[in-house]
Chain A
Amino acid sequence: MDAGLARDLYFRMLRIRTVEEKIAELYPEQQMRCPVHLSVGQEAVAVGVCAALASEDYAFSTHRSHAHYLAKGGNLKAMLGELYGRVTGCCQGKGGSMHLVDRSVGFLGAVPIVGSTIPIGVGAAFGTLLRKERRVTIVFLGDGATEEGVFHEAVNFAVLKRLPVVFVCENNFFSVYSSLDVRQPSTREIYELVRGYGLESLQGDGNDVEAVYGLTKAAAEKARAGRGPTFLEFKTYRWREHCGPHYDNHVGYRSEQEFEEWKARCPVARLKQRLLQRGLVAQQDLDGVEATLTDEIEAAVAFAKASPFPDPQLLGAHLYAP
């Protein structure tokens, strides 16, 4: 991987990490009055996948969508505005954190109902095919979502129609507090199960952004060339609680040791190490970037906090399209 790209991946991950840490820091002020689902620890999947896409490619996501939205190029100010319930938010405050959207960069929507965007993403891919566009559609989903019937129905159709879609499963082993082993047989890998539907199905290290990038690049090129869908499973780990800003290892659904093992595999620190080792960046480069990131994020937070709330008139707006 060339130096420019590797550095870019690093900065994108660091940016997302810093934004999410900032949200975690600010959330207890109780000015963001909606749930937040942070993906601290999972940045490599979002960044590796989206860096392999073109801006006109489409992406769909879930309740845990901040990283996906930002990685796809979503507007940070509009995201924070939405979390703060302001009219400058990407949904004018109507959606809240679980409904991010930025059409200008192909991020067509995130919704919190598990599995619901999977067929919608397949439908978008179907639409692009009918319209003879050469776009790829990415559907982000969790391990929990692979248990929903709609996942299986959607994959079947994608294979049937050879749709230009890449299913990206972030397997972080948990559906809220329920670990994978109470939901799926432990002798089976998700990507192996999915392979049975007749599409290429691969597994990669979800904490290695270069690996994620490589697999996605190949899958996206294949889709663009009309050679059908791919399923990619990336194992990774969510550091903080399912919903909210805190750490929650003490509540007992996972062990401190497991958490520490995953933390030691931090995707951001890992790439940074590699970049330094390969001599692709110098420590002072990184310091400089960290400072600009902090400024950018402070400015976005200030923007969101200073933004007005939607006027009550807006309550009745947008029920039907004009």
Chain B
Amino acid sequence: MTRDLRFFQAIHEATDLCMARDPSVYLMGLHVPADPKGIFGTVSGLQQKYGSDRVMDMPTSENGMTGVAIGSALVGMRPIMVHQRIEFALLAVEQIINQAANWHYMFGGKDAMPLVIRMMIGRGWGQGPQHSQSLQAMFAHVPGLKVVMPVTPYDAKGLLIAAIEDNNPVIYLEHRWLHNIFGPVPEGHYTVPIGKARTARPGRDVTIVATSYMVLESLRAADLLARDGIEAEVVDVRSLRPLDTAHILGSVQKTGRVLAVDGAWRSLGFAAEVLALVAERTYGTLKAAPQRVTFPDLPSPSTPALAQHFYPRTVHIVNGVRTMLGLQEVTEAQLGIQHETPLDVPDKAFTGPF
């Protein structure tokens, strides 16, 4: 049966289900059992259910604990580690990149490295330059890591189960503004294959390739474009590595235009990768030069006065497409976009620090 769940509930359900099915799955992270809000609700009650050996807090020791996770994986466990902000995982980059990513390859394919690392990314409420970076490209750059970015609650569950059951290290990136969105989620076990993109909205005029929360902004943009008769196809990549290049190329071959939308830095990032891919493989068939909508190449400022100029949103995507079609840019007012909440909060319910 399928019912509507929130994104965070989908993550909770996937974790619960995998822990129930497989005693080698365990969960750890700073405040994992202790946080009264249950890490955005994603781990609530799991320690009561599975005990403190399988759901545990950890010392403030990210690198060391990642090594511990890796070692336990080598001897048959399937750890899930959680970082409330991606920045905290940077302290563990040595273990993640040098060790986890390379292990299977460098020892001649002998050992598996089943390890899931959940990291929160994204913006909000003055988090500033060290608490709101979106470093997907950095992790996705590394061969040996898989990197997934679910957008829908359906994918949040299916991709997490796939990640837990995968024999490789999987970086599972959650945008903070997605935790409360609603969507249909089937009960029981199912997986969403890692490395398969999805068409979030079909269209014929332009392909918008987007990641994570920016998929939602792209869908809003597509709705607004449709009012002017422009049919945008929105591709939700779901996995950055492996990247479903066939899906992206198939769409671009159909539409002849591509706009890459990524909530992260522009240069050398995911959007740059999409454009490179399209340029290499569809050169000569494009009807317009490929475009990107991304953050500027700057640290993310704390003050809302600057943050509103830092994070691109629907209007920027609309204009990215319009530019490709040789149309004039439009303003939010012309599009009828009114912001009911300040730009630094995800929804009306939100009133304080993340």
Q: Which residues of A contact B (CB under 8 A)?
A: 30, 32-36, 85-86, 89, 91, 93-99, 111-115, 144-145, 147-150, 175-179, 182-184, 243-244, 248, 251-253, 309-310, 312, 314-316, 319
Contact = CB atoms under 8 A, between A and B. Distances in A.
B184 interface: no
A85 B31 contact: no
Nearest to A150: B91
Given A177-B34, A312-B309, A315-B296, 15 more contacts: A34-B126, A35-B131, A36-B353, A85-B305, A96-B128, A98-B130, A113-B88, A113-B90, A147-B61, A148-B62, A148-B91, A176-B30, A183-B59, A309-B303, A315-B310
A183 B353 CA distance: 25
Contacts of B125: 33-35
A176 B310 CA distance: 29
Nearest to A97: B126
Counting from the closest, the 9 A-B pairs by CB-CB distance are A34-B126, A96-B302, A85-B303, A93-B303, A309-B305, A35-B353, A251-B36, A177-B34, A147-B59
B35 interface: yes
Contacts of B36: 177, 248, 251-253
Interface in B285-301: 296-299, 301
A100 B126 CA distance: 14
Interface centre among B60, B62, B91 (most CB of A within 10 A): B60
Contact of B30 (A86, A175, A310): A175
Interface of B: 30-31, 34-36, 56-64, 87-88, 90-91, 125-131, 296-299, 301-306, 309-310, 342, 344, 351-354
11 contacts: A33-B344, A94-B299, A94-B306, A99-B129, A99-B130, A113-B91, A149-B64, A184-B59, A251-B36, A309-B305, A316-B296
A34 B302 contact: yes
B127 A35 contact: yes
Contact of B302 (A94, A115, A179, A319): A94
A315 B309 contact: yes
A113 B31 contact: no
Contacts of B87: 113
B66 to A, nearest CB: 11
Contacts, number: 141
Contact of A176 (B31, B64, B90, B342): B31
Chain A facing B: main interface SS: loop
A223 B309 CA distance: 46
B39 to A, nearest CB: 11
Nearest to A246: B352
A91 B303 CA distance: 10
Contacts of B56: 182
A178 B303 contact: no
Contacts of A95: 128-129, 302
B60 A99 contact: no
Nearest to A176: B31
Interface centre among B58, B90, B125, B305 (most CB of A within 10 A): B305
B67 to A, nearest CB: 10
A244 B61 contact: no
B128 A182 contact: no
A112 B299 CA distance: 15
Contacts of A309: 303-305
A94 B344 contact: no
A208 B56 CA distance: 35
A158 to B, nearest CB: 20
A176 B84 CA distance: 12
A183 B62 CA distance: 12
A179 to B, nearest CB: 8
A314 B299 CA distance: 12
Given A34-B128, A98-B131, A316-B298, A177 B31 contact: yes
B353 A96 contact: no
B239 to A, nearest CB: 28
A313 to B, nearest CB: 10
A112 B130 contact: yes
Contact of A312 (B91, B297, B306): B306
B166 to A, nearest CB: 28
Contacts of A86: 303
A312 B307 CA distance: 9
A155 B150 CA distance: 41
Nearest to B52: A182
A85 B60 CA distance: 29
A93 B60 contact: no
B130 A148 contact: no
A183 B129 CA distance: 28
B71 to A, nearest CB: 16
A314 B128 CA distance: 15
B127 A178 contact: no
Contacts of B63: 149
A294 B134 CA distance: 41
A267 B92 CA distance: 38
Interface centre among A95, A184, A248 (most CB of B within 10 A): A95
Contacts of B298: 315-316, 319
